[in-house]
Amino acid sequence: MMRRIVVLLVLLALVGSSAPSWASSESTAVEIGSSAGSAFGTVIYAPLKATFCILGGIGSGFTAIVSPPTAGKVALATCGGAWTVTPNVIRGREPLKFVGDTSQHRTTAAGDTSRHGKTAAR
């Protein structure tokens, strides 16, 4: 069963990425096909994404024992990203982001430039 799902996802990705670039004007058939592909893709993709998120949450919980910041990154990576397949993904106009972005730069308290929360010596 899992092998069929993987094959279906690969085929869906190939079909979605090979959308014709010459079709600059959107026809009704393209819109209907993209919407149907989006709905079908989401039905297949969402349970896989939910499983990935749940497993990531479990892994994040164990990671939090050793390194809470890393646990946060694990949670952002596994539960972040796209949860639905949009028509633009099917058309090949945007990528499907399975993994969330963990490269967010967070600012620290004013003047806090060291790793341990102390103000850096000048």
- Extents of the domains making up the chain: 47-98
- Distance separating alpha carbons of residues 76 and 99, to the nearest angstrom: 8
Count Cβ atoms below 10 Å from residue 14 Cβ, excluding itself: 9
Average pLDDT over residues 77-104: 84
Is 106 a residue whose pLDDT tops 50? no
Q: What is the pTM of this model?
A: 0.58
Provide the pLDDT confidence category of residue 115 given band limits of 50, 70 and 90: very low
pLDDT at 46: 87
Note the pLDDT tens digit of each residue in 41-58. 888 888 999 999 999 999
Q: What residue has token string 């039905």?
A: 43
